[in-house]
Every structure is written in C-alpha cells, then in structure tokens.
Structure 1
Amino acid sequence: MRAEPPAWAPGPAQAAALLEEAADLLVLHRDFAAAVERCEAGCDSLGPGPGPGPGHGHESFAEVKCSLCVVGIQALAEMNRWREVLSWVLHYYHVPEHLPPKVLELCILLYSKVREPQVMLEVGSSWLGSPANQRLPEFGSLLELYLAQVLLPLGRFGAAEELVRGCSALDSERRLQLLGTIGESRCRWARREEETRPGAEERQDPATETLLGVLSQKLLTMLTLLRRALRSMSNHFYLLPYKKMLLATFLLYLVVVRLDPASPTSLPFIYKLVQLFRQAWAAVLSPIHRPPIRD
C-alpha cells in the first residue's frame, strides 16, 4: 500500500509538495484517482489565499493553485470524468472571471474535443467580458480560441461579431481579420445547410411513394365499385322512363365529378350509393311495374 502523504504545514509549501506528488501519480504511476485527491488536498491547504494585488506571495500562491487544477483536469479527463471538470475548477475559483488563462484554455479544448462546446458558452463569455482579464497578455489568444472552438462551431455568428466589435483590447486591424473569419465561417455554414437540404428531401421520397400507393389503391377500389354500379344500371336502362334516366345520370355526375377520390369518406359513400340504387331499383321493379315475362 502507498503511504499517506506527510502532514505538511498549511500554505503554499504543503500545496507545492502535494503538486509534485500529484504530477508523479499522473505521469509515472498513472494513478489518476490518487492524483485528483492530491490536487484537491493541495487546493484545500491553500485556503482562501492572499488578497488581490501584486507581490511575490500572491504570484506564488496563484501559480501553485493553477498548476494543481491543471493536473487535476488532466487526471479527470484520463478517467473519462470530463463532465465534472468545469464544476470541479469552479469549486476552487468560485466565478468564471477568476479562472486562470491556462485553466480556461484547457477547459475550452477539453469540451471542444468531446464535442460539447456549449458547456463553455457562459463561462467563456463571462471571462472574456471581464475588464481585468482584457488586460492580460493571454486575452487575445483566448478570444480567438473561444471563437474557433465554441462560438463558430455552434453557429453563434451574431454573438461572435458582437464580442469582437465590443472588445477594446483588439486593434482595428485584428478586429477586421476576426470579423472576416466570422463571415467566412457563416458562408460555409450556409453552404452546408444547402447541401444537406436535398438529402433530407430524398429521405422523404419513400414515405411519399408509400402515400401515393395507398391513394392509388383507394382510387382503384372506387373505380371498381363505379364499374359495378354502371354495369347494374346499363342492364336496366331500357326499362327506365326518361326522368329516371336523367336521375341516374345526375347521380353518376355526383360520383364521378364531385366526389373527391382522396377523401377518406369517399369509399363509404360509394357503398351507400350502390345500396340505395339497388333499393331504388327494387322499388321501381316491384311486381306492379315489373315487365311481363316473355316465353
């Protein structure tokens, strides 16, 4: 069993020793869970840290804490626990604006690699919108990384243009270059949508063909019923008076011209029409009006 780490005095000295041990566990021993534990212990040993402001103590404190988080991010990613990374680092920095540039860069690259760039939308926007961060030397490179890995892949072109135009840390030349890059990305996005649109229409063709097949089958059934009705009427036309022939013609007009074949109520109507015609014919050809039987 591995011995427990020694009880160091609180402060950056203990955190630095835990950082060295966490790095060895990550790189040499590939014990990622233990590396995360050492990083957490190191961050906890730092406490709230020195107050803001320049000074050797503040820089040393921030550097050790940032390095602990970098090792912890890598160890969590190796264990496929990347979903915990952002909440893990915010537990120690509390707000996105306080994240060190290196930590923010690793988070953007990580969530872009796993194709979840939307996780960094709010965090990146908050960090880049901070006036204090805009004075950092890493601000320009992080802005470009945020555009390339988060906003543009998500199609947030309006937000990207607003961010670039409102950034006072960019000179006019660099601002124009970034706006041109955003415009090119917008055009590529539009072309991809146009290219994929015909494919979607082609995927709908089988469903359309199926619908047309069903309608054709209904139309064929309706025409079969009409043929039976016509045959039944044609066999007895010579017995009908002139007015009854006009009535039969009018009924045919209603069926053939006015009836919508695609209507779901068409077939039941035709069945009823045939039955009514047969009942009417039976009434017309009652024993009183039935023609004499010829030998």
Structure 2
Amino acid sequence: MRSEPLPWPPVAAQAASLLEEAADLLVLHRDFAAAVERCEAGCDSLGPGSGSGTGPVPESSAEVKCSLCVVGIQALAEMNRWREVLPWVLQYYHRPERLPPKVLELCILLYSKVKEPQVMLEVGSSWLRDQTNRGLPEYGCLLELCLLHVLLPLGRFKEAEELVRSCDLLDSQQQQTLLGAICESRRQWAQREETHSAAEEQEDAATETLLGALSQKLLAVLTLLRRALRSMSSHLCLLPYKKMLLATLLLYLVVVRLDPASPTSLPFIYKLVQLFRQAWAAVFSPVHRSPVKD
C-alpha cells in the first residue's frame, strides 16, 4: 500500500500559497514589485527560525523559504535592484553560512554578471569555510563557482589555492584542474598588469611632451613680456621727473589748498595758472622753449 505524503503545516501551506502567487506574478504578469511583496510576506509568515540556523526547522518550511528567496532574487534583478539582493536575503537568514546552496549560487552569478564580485567575497568565503556546509552535496560545485566568479576575478590567487588544497572533498584530478585554472588566471592577470603599466608609461610620456611644449611657449611669452617692460621702463626714464613733479604740485595747490571763491585768492590763482601753463609747455613740448612772458 502506497503511503500518502504528509500534509504541510498550516504556516508552510500559507507560505506555499504566497510562493505560487509570487511565481505567477513574476513569470506570467511580469509584475516584479508585487512578486517581491508576496515573497516577503511568505518569508515573514514562516518566522525567523525557518532556515536561519536558530533552531530545528521542518524541511518543508526550509524548502518554501528557499524558493521564496529565489523568486524574490529574480524579481529584484528584473527591476535592476541588484544592489538590494544580498541585504534582502540576509535579513531572512541572518548569517552568510546559513544561506541555502541555491540562493548562494544565484547571488554569486548575479553579482558576477553586474561586475561586482567583491560583494560576494566575504559571504562566499564564510559559507565555504563552514564545517556544516562541507557535508552538502552542492559544496564542490559552489567552491568551483566561487573560485571562478569571485576569487579569481579579484586576483585572490593565494586564498583560492589555500581553499582548493584544504578541501578534502576534491580528488587529486579535480584539485589539479582547479589549481591549473588558478595558475592560468594569475598569468593572464600579470599580462594585463604589464599591458596596463606600458599604457600608463606611454600616457605619461605624451603628457610630459605636451607639458614641455607648453612650457616652451610660456617661456617665449614671458621673454617677450620682459622685453616690453624693459622698453617701457627705458622710455619712462627719459621723462623729466622734476618738471612733472612741479606740475603735479601746482595742480594740487590750485585744486586742493586754495579756495577759488575767496576774492583774495584770485590774483594768486592767476599767477599759479600762468606758472602751470609754462610748466606744462616745458614738460610736453618736443623742443624746450623759453617761458611766454605776460
């Protein structure tokens, strides 16, 4: 007689119903925001203990919670909200090493696709070093996935080698294959660094050449400016400074020191004006002339 499958607990059944709604919204209706809301409601209904490592959890509840997170990750990615994926998942599992293998796989692939593998560096390392996870059948595949999509793109070659050598689940052939991939990635990384350094040297040389040309032009301009200033100063030295000073003093006395409205100042002002005219003619005339007599 065939045994009937055990019915799901009421909480798991409710979460499974929300999971079905979220999947329909994601695939059929393409309503990603509503799908995320259903996934959040389903995970909240399961409580903090489901799949978070805080206590014994029914297998059905853990599977439903994992599926809800998978649908939620896909919906967030469709809305280009990939930065929220890892924090969103960790709010339901709390610790990176407690992430289900399928959820960790999706997160690694997502952040590798958007060229942000460093986001998964600490999470992936914590998950792979956990002793409980080493007994999972998906451990070997996730180790290789983390190696190829997180550690090697970031240049963490030493950490990758230590991780491969310390894994007892890999046989010698698998270890040699992964170590060969690490060696090839290190060689390509060094080649890219050399190419980048050569390009930087060429750019620096071009910049120095340009700056040298600009410096030569600036030096020529400054030389011309110095010659112009020297010529102006030589012309200014030829002017009769004493006569100019006398004219300035007379103008100061007429405008500032005397009161033109005073009747007693009129004859004196007339004489000063005459002297000022004579000084002006003596200073600015091309040929020195004797003062004009009144």
Fold agreement, TM-score > 0.5? yes
- Structure 2 matches for 1:1-295, cutoff 5 A? 10-47=10-47, 48-49=49-50, 58-216=58-216
2: CA distance between counterparts of 1:172 and 1:137? 18
**Contact 1:10/1:45 (<8 A) preserved:** no
2: CA distance between counterparts of 1:74 and 1:221? 64
2: CA distance between counterparts of 1:178 and 1:13? 43
TM-score, normalised to structure 1's length? 0.68
2: CA distance between counterparts of 1:114 and 1:50? 28
Query: Residues 44-64 of structure 1, C-alpha deviation per residue, up to 9 Å, x if partnerless?
Result: 1111238979x9x72211111
2: CA distance between counterparts of 1:172 and 1:213? 62
**Contact 1:155/1:189 (<8 A) preserved:** yes
Q: Cα–Cα, structure 1 residues 83 and 52, in superposed 2: closer, same or farther, change >3 Å? A: closer
- 1:223: Cα distance to partner? 9.8
- 1:171: Cα distance to partner? 2.1
Q: CA RMSD in A?
A: 3.1
1: CA distance between counterparts of 2:136 and 2:51? 20
**Contact 2:50/2:65 (<8 A) preserved:** no
**Contact 1:121/1:150 (<8 A) preserved:** yes
Query: Residues 97-130 of structure 1, C-alpha deviation per residue, up to 9 Å, x if partnerless?
Result: 1100000000000001111110000000000000
One-letter amino acid of the structure 1 residue matched with residue 204 of structure 2: Q
Q: Cα–Cα, structure 1 residues 61 and 171, in superposed 2: closer, same or farther, change >3 Å? A: same
Q: Cα–Cα, structure 1 residues 36 and 220, in superposed 2: closer, same or farther, change >3 Å? A: closer
- 1:213: Cα distance to partner? 2.3
TM-score, normalised to structure 2's length? 0.68
- 1:23: Cα distance to partner? 0.3
Listed as ranges, the gaps of 5+ residues in structure 1 are: 1-8, 229-270, 276-295
Q: Cα–Cα, structure 1 residues 215 and 33, in superposed 2: closer, same or farther, change >3 Å? A: closer
**Structure of larger gyration radius:** 2
**Contact 1:51/1:58 (<8 A) preserved:** no
1: CA distance between counterparts of 2:52 and 2:199? 59
1: CA distance between counterparts of 2:190 and 2:64? 46
2: CA distance between counterparts of 1:29 and 1:51? 31
